[in-house]
Amino acid sequence: MKKFFSCLICICLMLLLCPSVGAAEDVTSVASREDLERIAERPSGSYELTADIDMGAEDWQPIPFSGRLNGNGHTIYNLTVRAPGADGAETYDGNGKKYDTALGGLFSTVTGAEISDLHLKNAVVCVETDRHCFLGAFAGCAADSVFTNCTADCRNRLTVSSVNAGVGGMTGFSLDCEFDSCGVDAELVFTDVNTETPCESFLGGMYACGYGNVKSCAVRIHGFAEVYGYAHNGGVIGMFRLPQRLKKSFAVRDTAVDAEISFFEIAPSRRAYCDPLIGENLAGACHLYNNRVQNYQKNEFRTPVRLSPEQCEAPQYSEEITPPTCTEWGYTTYTCPVCGYFYRDRYTPAAHDYTEMRIEPTRTKDGSVTYTCAVCHDSYTEILPYIWAERVELTPETLNLPFLGQAQLSAAVFPKNVAEPGVTYSSADASAVTVSPDGIVTAFKKGTVVITCKSADERVKSVCVVTVTSSAWEWFCNGFRKIG
């Protein structure tokens, strides 16, 4: 019992000393490419997108991530990755052999992360390397992470001369991840340029290799693989393999697949794994429930051929710009006039063509701005309140002047966006001190006079106390003394 109470006291003390216990965690807003870059400074933080993000023409350097990222339904578009991230991870092949691996995607590695409601549109992850390498739109390798309501619209292309390599839609490698209600529309290309050493090649719509659950997803892939070694092509997963015996069970369930896969496998002993769901499901360890193969086309070649979505060696693309509409993205279509292959790039967000109708506010009535789309007539109105003056700053606040002395007053009205920015001046005794409309004070009679400065809307005022230090006579005598 004594122990129990001392524990209780300890807990109470801890709660008192740690005000952060139970407090909501900080969530950092992400609204630009620069904000995304800053995630590298605190990869375990919590983030949320507050806008769609155009990644622009500049290549992106993949960064590691281990926090929370809520996309709030926003889209990161025009992502281009042409080199793996600085960090890597360990991957394995079908025999459990391990490899230090380079990784490319929006993130290089994703570890213990939660990523939700985030869309990648026109992501291009295109890497050529002699290292072991995995690519995916979201990450090269994801471990112990959950992806919910995310989509990847991507063209990922890996050209390698190494041994263990793969290209996926969502991620390259998966170590115990969950993909829930995600969508992939991917063009995936794997090109092995090493005809000597057999490679292990992986290609899959959700992930290329590893293990993890896929639930209620939709996958559409167009895959191409030139493999001098062992090919593992799957509409959803290239190869499912647990690293060791695990108690946990895994499944692909309630998932729709549309897959077209073209490949050749030149290997000492042919296996040529290709399947609309899982290319090679090692030991049948991944269960399959209630999936729908909507379309599956396998084009398998027995001899080396060029396999890529474009048929020509060096296509000369023609460009056609489709402007955005009120509700649809704009983009540029690049078409090869010889083979007819085309792809869309350089997306621009949907936008209305608004014209503005402005009614200025008055002292008695708010104004408004009405935006109306010339195309769809979508319309909304913003109220323009009349902004009253809150404060006038008059300098100086006091003045000492001799007879006929002059000084300039200066006034500033706040807030800065006040509706009527001007001021008016007045003198309490114009026979003693005058003030001009632009604030020039002139002294005429010995004594003290208050000059008032009012905001143009007459809401607020400020004063300057002017003391006239000499009379006309004193000034006259003083003048003579100086001359004398």
Residues making contact with Zn ion (CB under 5 A): 311-312, 315, 326, 336, 338-339, 352, 373, 375-376, 378
Structure tokens at 317: 């693309």
From residue 87, alpha-carbon distances to 103, 108, 168 in Å are 8, 7, 19
The nearer residue to Zn ion, 326 or 384, going by C-beta atoms, is: 326
Distance CA 261, CA 299 (A): 6
111 φ, ψ (degrees, to nearest 5): -130, 125
Q: Considering the complex, what minimum distance in angstroms separates the CB of residue 372 from Zn ion?
A: 9
The nearer residue to Zn ion, 114 or 378, going by C-beta atoms, is: 378
Distance CA 177, CA 145 (A): 5
Q: Which region holds residue 110: left if phi is over 0, alpha if psi is between -120 and 50, else beta?
A: beta
Q: Considering the complex, what minimum distance in angstroms separates the CB of residue 52 from Zn ion?
A: 17
Q: Considering the complex, what minimum distance in angstroms separates the CB of residue 320 from Zn ion?
A: 16
Distance CA 187, CA 135 (A): 12
Q: Considering the complex, what minimum distance in angstroms separates the CB of residue 316 from Zn ion?
A: 8
The nearer residue to Zn ion, 44 or 327, going by C-beta atoms, is: 327
The nearer residue to Zn ion, 29 or 327, going by C-beta atoms, is: 327
> Each residue of 294-320: b (16+ CB within 10 Å) or e?
eeeeeeeeeeeeebbbbeeeebebeee
* Residues in Cβ contact with 308 at an 8 Å cutoff, skipping those fewer than 6 apart: 189, 191, 224
Q: Considering the complex, what minimum distance in angstroms separates the CB of residue 358 from Zn ion?
A: 19
For the chain, what percentages of helix, strand and coil (3-state, to nearest 5) are there?
A: 10, 50, 40
- Can you give the three-state secondary structure of 305-357, one letter per residue? CCCCCCCCCCCCCEEEEECCCCCCCEEEEEECCCCCCEEEEEEECCCCCEEEE
Q: How many CB atoms lie within 10 A of CB 139?
A: 36
Distance CA 146, CA 91 (A): 19
Q: Considering the complex, what minimum distance in angstroms separates the CB of residue 239 from Zn ion?
A: 32
Q: Considering the complex, what minimum distance in angstroms separates the CB of residue 324 from Zn ion?
A: 10
The nearer residue to Zn ion, 373 or 463, going by C-beta atoms, is: 373
The nearer residue to Zn ion, 340 or 437, going by C-beta atoms, is: 340
E strands, 144-217, in order: 146-148, 151-160, 164-168, 171-180, 183-192, 199-204, 207-215
The nearer residue to Zn ion, 312 or 419, going by C-beta atoms, is: 312
Q: Considering the complex, what minimum distance in angstroms separates the CB of residue 317 from Zn ion?
A: 9
The nearer residue to Zn ion, 345 or 378, going by C-beta atoms, is: 378
Q: Considering the complex, what minimum distance in angstroms separates the CB of residue 22 from Zn ion?
A: 46
The nearer residue to Zn ion, 315 or 402, going by C-beta atoms, is: 315
